[in-house]
Amino acid sequence: MTTPDITPTSATGPLLEVTDLSVSFTAHKQTAKVVDQVSFSVQPGKTLGIVGESGSGKTVSSLALVGLLPRTANITGSARFAGQELVGMTTRQQRQIRGNDISVIFQEPMTSLDPVFTVGNQLTGAHRNHQGGSKKDALDRAEEMLRLVGIPEPRKRLAEYPHAFSGGMRQRVMIALALINSPRLLIADEPTTALDVTIQSQILELLQELQQAMGMAILFVTHDLGVVASVCDDVSVMYAGQVVEQAGIDEFFAHPRHPYSEGLLRSMPHSVPKGERLRMIPGTVPLPSRFPTSCRFAGRCPYAQEACTADPIPLEQLDDGRVVRCVRHRELVMEARS
Amino acid sequence: MTDVSDTTTPSEPPATPADGAAPLLRVRDLEKVFPIKKGLLRRTVAHVRAVDGVSFDIARGEVLGLVGESGSGKSTTGRLLLRLIEPTGGSIELEGKELRDLEGEELRAVRCDMQMVFQDPYSSLDPLAPVADIVGEPFQVHFNMPRKERDEKVVKLLEQVGLSAQHLRRFPAEFSGGQRQRIAVARALALEPKLIVADEPVSALDMSTQSQVVNLLSDLRERLGVALLFIAHDLSIVHHASDRIAVMYLGGIVEVGDADDVYSHPCHPYSEALISAAPVPDPVVERSRRRIVLEGDPPSPLDPPSGCRYHPRCAYAMDICSQVAPEPTPTLAGGEVACHLHTSGPALAGRPLAELSGVTTHEPG
């Protein structure tokens, strides 16, 4: 492939545009397509939430963008980041981008920091790998980052190992590490799921502050619709490896257009008065080897008809900019609350 | 200062359910101190007061929600009730019978009445045992019931939790997370217990299956009249599933009361912060509401703060808070709260915290 040249995007174009991204794994001569023609875009400085349950393919799609999937993954489609094609990049090119223009923070801050190096060592390494410069400069930058993410006595704590930090503090270190090279896109994969709610609200607040200060875009992978409502601008809902709906959060939470989105919103305890039974989505997500070729949600959908189980359902772009994958979306009127 | 030595005169029973009937479970001054051992000789160098003077009641058929952050001692409390770990102080009475005195056969007999559902249905079920053995084991252990009879009972239990006879010979790996948690609930129901302690029963589940398990638990309560201690960190689910809520912080209960009252009109600053921290799935609400962001981490239970254990993170802290541990006082809504704001300083006297808005909160008491 040709060497991509880095051209800044225009103010209006998306920073990241993913089109028909598919990921499949082959094991025991069986191929499972766990991500199937996923498309979404992230605007500069904005936050896109990717919501889905376990097995929806939300994490696999985001890791595919930065080359963090195992070699056995077969990735097709396109993901354009600031004019560069991410799919098909060599490992060397990926390394130049990862941790620099695109950074990732993960769910488990304990396993994503290296336990045998000091925090300062990891931070300065990340800085010097991409920016070069002296150790002294890198150390100053590392200290600045720790201060920025709200860690008291940053200079002293640079010499400590990850185990000396609490869960919330470790996630702050992880954020400092991800942001030390001022990325334009941050991929946050369930960054607060392992944390207590009080610590979660600190981290969400911090991410929003840093986003405003640094102007980066965030791809926020989560299963928590409350988190989506509090930090995202747009949301993309994934089900069984496909995007089923994408919309701005206000429209989405007021009027979901896909029955799965409606089911999710209604199953939240907030949507029914106390004392009433919670709404449920019956059944479970099918396994990737058993994804139907037609609508993948049809088996659990209260609105399913014959048309839903006949052909593959296309992802339809609506006039108001929303995107939905459902044959009946025109006739169905859905509410987040029942 | 955390020593609860002045409890010789037991105060009014805290956190009594609304009706006057004798409670099913009565817990008083429950305490668990873990020794910290170090070095070659495993000498005890310090103590952690994981549960420090916890008192509450659970009525027959009642659901008490127990919430708090990790490290608050809520799971330890649940395990202490069943004596899965040994309490170091206090009393646990089930139908008037003191559980702490029981041993051996007697203890085993009482455990028929109290069962547990654990958080992770992936590790709490034996992967090598078929469902028939997992759910049927209590019958074998307690009654030495023959296989055929056992299987009949197991089928009935599976039907109660929404599974069926065809699942009898399957193994845990063949089930989804929600189904596994149903199996765990079926096992807990096997001996027709009077109380089930459910420790984060839905935290490991996907959102669309969480509500299936919550509904199952409320159905069972209605049909079988089993009481439930619902331990969780997700306040919206606890609020929905519980009659009353107890909020724990660093080993102690800071507030207890009717679920709606605690959720909508908290009286303790920590309850308020905890509720405000949980994001609501509504962007309009999220943009407009005032969120209390707590500073710092919960302090280490190894070295808890003096006075009120919450004072270093509390937005309303007064001078007295760092000196004297607050005693539980009744709230107007019929619950209890342990906070100086209700007795000193602005003196809320049991009214919800929201009524403080006009009051200067940093005025010394």
Structure confidence by residue, pLDDT tens digits, B261-286: 999 999 999 999 999 888 989 999 88
**pLDDT over 70 (residue A201):** yes
Distance CA B122, CA B39 (A): 35
| Per-position DSSP letters for A141-152, written without gaps between them | HHHHHHHHTT-S
* CA A335 – CA B247 distance, rounded (Å): 33
What separation in angstroms does the CA of B49 have from each of A165, B27, B70, B142?
A: 22, 17, 14, 34
Residue B289 has pLDDT above 80, yes or no: no
- Crossing angle (nearest 10°) for helices A119-131 and A135-148: 120
- Tokens 């009706």 correspond to what residue? B19
Instruction: Quote the pLDDT of residue B46.
Output: 85
| pLDDT at res. A2 | 44
User: Hey, which residues 38-97 in chain A have their CB within 8 Å of chain B?
Assistant: 53-54
Which of A192, A197, A258, A300 would best serve as a mutation to test chain B binding (most B beta carbons within 10 A)? A197
Residue percentage of chain A with pLDDT more than 90? 65
- pLDDT tens-digit readout, A227-257: 999 999 999 999 999 999 999 999 999 999 9
HSE on the CB side for A302, CA within 13 Å?
Answer: 15
Answer whether A223 sits within 8 Å of B212, measured CB to CB: no
DSSP letters spanning B278-298? SPPS-HHHHHHS------SPP
Determine contact: B127 vs chain A, CB below 8 A.
no
pTM: 0.85
- Give per-residue pLDDT as tens, B181-193: 999 999 999 999 9
Compute the count of residue pairs across chains A and B with CB atoms less than 8 Å apart: 117
pLDDT band for position B349 (50/70/90)? confident
Q: How far apart are CA A314 and CA A295, in angstroms?
A: 9
pLDDT band at A333 (very low <50, low <70, confident <90, very high): confident
User: Which distant-in-sequence residues (6+ apart) come within 8 Å of A115 by Cβ?
Assistant: A161, A162, A163
Confidence tier at A8 by pLDDT (50, 70, 90): very low
Residues 6+ apart with CB under 8 A from A44: A9, A11, A14, A15, A184, A215, A217
Separation of alpha carbons B228 and B195, rounded Å: 6
Which residue does chain A place closest to B175, by CA atoms?
A284
Cβ contacts (< 8 Å) between A280 and chain B: which residues?
208, 211-212, 215
Domain ranges of chain B: 62-67+104-113+191-358
Q: Is pLDDT above 70 for B107?
A: yes
Whether the per-residue pLDDT at A10 is higher than 90: the answer is no
pLDDT in tens, A242-295: 999 999 999 999 999 999 999 999 988 888 888 888 888 888 888 888 889 999
A221: β partners: A50, A189
Q: Which helix (H) or strand (E) holds B224?
A: helix B207-224
Residue range A91-140, pLDDT digits in tens: 999 999 998 999 999 887 777 899 999 999 999 999 999 999 899 999 99
Q: Percentage of chain A with pLDDT > 70? A: 96
Confidence of residue B20 (pLDDT cuts 50, 70, 90): low
Contacts of A230 in chain B (CB under 8 A): 279-280, 283, 286
What does each C-alpha distance from A61 to A38, A58, A194, B38 come to in angstroms?
Answer: 8, 5, 21, 46
B212 reaches A (C-beta below 8 A) = yes
Q: Is the pLDDT of residue B152 over 50?
A: yes
Q: What is the pLDDT of residue A4?
A: 45
- Asked whether the beta carbons of residue B274 and residue A198 sit closer than 8 angstroms, the reply is yes
For residue B8, pLDDT over 90 is answered with: no
Tell me whether residues B291 and A169 touch, CB distance under 8 A. Answer: no
The amino acid occupying position B251 is G
User: Residue A47 carries which side chain, given as an amino acid letter?
Assistant: T
Confidence of residue A12 (pLDDT cuts 50, 70, 90): low
> With contact defined as beta carbons under 8 Å apart, do A227 and A50 qualify?
no
B208, B233, B239 ranked by CB distance to A264: nearest: B208
Q: In this predicted structure, what is the pLDDT of residue B347?
A: 76
Q: Residue B259: its chain A contacts at CB < 8 A?
A: 274
Which chain A residues are within 8 Å of B209, Cβ to Cβ? Answer: 284
Whether B360 has a pLDDT exceeding 50, the answer reads: no
CATH number of B62-67+104-113+191-358, picked from 3.40.50.10440, 3.30.590.10, 3.40.640.10, 3.40.50.300: 3.40.50.300
Give the closest residue to A296 by CA, choosing from A36, A75, A31: A36
Task: Tell me the average pLDDT across A307-314.
Answer: 91
Q: Which chain B residues are within 8 Å of A277, Cβ to Cβ?
A: 215, 218
Q: How far is B361 from B345, CA to CA, in rounded Å? A: 8
CATH numbers and ranges of domains, chain A: 16-237 (3.40.50.300), 259-324 (no CATH)
Is residue A179's pLDDT more than 90? yes
β-sheet bridge partners, residue B91: B28
Test B207 with A267 for CB contact under 8 angstroms.
Answer: yes
Residue B274's closest CA among B261, B291, B257? B291
Residue range B204-217: average pLDDT? 85
φ, ψ dihedrals at B100, nearest 5°? -70, -20
Give me the residues paired with residue B26 across strands. Answer: B57, B93
Residues A197 and A193: their CA atoms lie apart, in Å, by 9
CA-closest candidate to residue B351, choices B332, B335, B336: B332
How many angstroms separate the CA atoms of B14 and B328, rounded? Answer: 8
**What pLDDT does A11 receive?**
52
Task: Give the tokens for residue A126.
Answer: 């990340």
User: What's CA B195's distance to the chain center, in Å?
Assistant: 13
Is the predicted pLDDT of residue B206 greater than 60, yes or no?
A: yes
Residue A9 has pLDDT above 70, yes or no: no
| DSSP secondary structure code for residue B319 in this structure | G
Q: Which residues have CB under 8 Å from A279's CB, separation 6+? A: A263, A266, A267, A271, A272, A338, B211
Question: Looking at beta carbons, which residues of chain B come within 8 Å of A225?
Answer: 207, 281
pLDDT of B102 strictly over 80? yes
Identify which of B176, B274, B286 has the shortest CB distance to residue A197: B274
pLDDT of residue A338: 63
CB crowding B27-36: b at 16 or more within 10 Å, else e: bbbbbbebee
Q: Report whether pLDDT(B295) > 90.
A: no
The Cβ of residue A196 has, within 10 Å, a number of other Cβ atoms equal to 22
- Of the partner residues A198, A249, A264, the one whose CB lies closest to the CB of residue B283: A249
Q: When comparing pLDDT for B247 and B179, which is higher?
A: B247
Q: What is the mean pLDDT of chain A?
A: 90
For A52-66, B17-31, B135-149, B228-242, which range has the lowest pLDDT when averaged over its residues? B17-31
**Closest-CA residue of chain A to B217:** A277
Determine, for residues B215 and A278 on separate chains, whether the beta-carbon distance falls below 8 Å.
yes
* pLDDT score at B41: 80
B315 in A contact zone (CB under 8 Å) = no
Q: What is the dihedral of CA A63, A300, A192, A85, to 10 degrees?
A: 20
Q: Which of A130-144, B15-29, B37-51, B59-73 is the least confident region?
A: B15-29
Top-confidence range, A8-12, A34-38, B2-6? A34-38
Which of B286, B292, B314 should one mutate to test binding to chain A, selecting the residue with the greatest count of A CBs within 10 A? B286
Q: Give the pLDDT mean for A151-171.
A: 90
How far apart are the C-alpha atoms of A238 and A38, rounded to whole Å? 9
A88: left (phi over 0), alpha (psi -120 to 50) or beta: left
Chain B partners within 8 Å of A202 (Cβ): 293-294
pLDDT 10s digits, A203-213: 899 999 999 99
Whether residues B278 and A226 touch (CB distance < 8 A) is answered with yes
Asked whether the CA dihedral A208, A213, A215, A216 is positive or negative, the reply is: negative
Q: What is the pLDDT of residue B13?
A: 44
Q: Report angle CA B78, B81, B87 to the nearest 5 degrees.
A: 105
Q: Which letter does DSSP use for residue B219 in this model? A: H
With residues binned 3-state (H G I as helix, E B as strand, rest as coil), the percentages for chain B, rounded to 5, are 35, 20, 45
Mean pLDDT, residues A52-56: 86
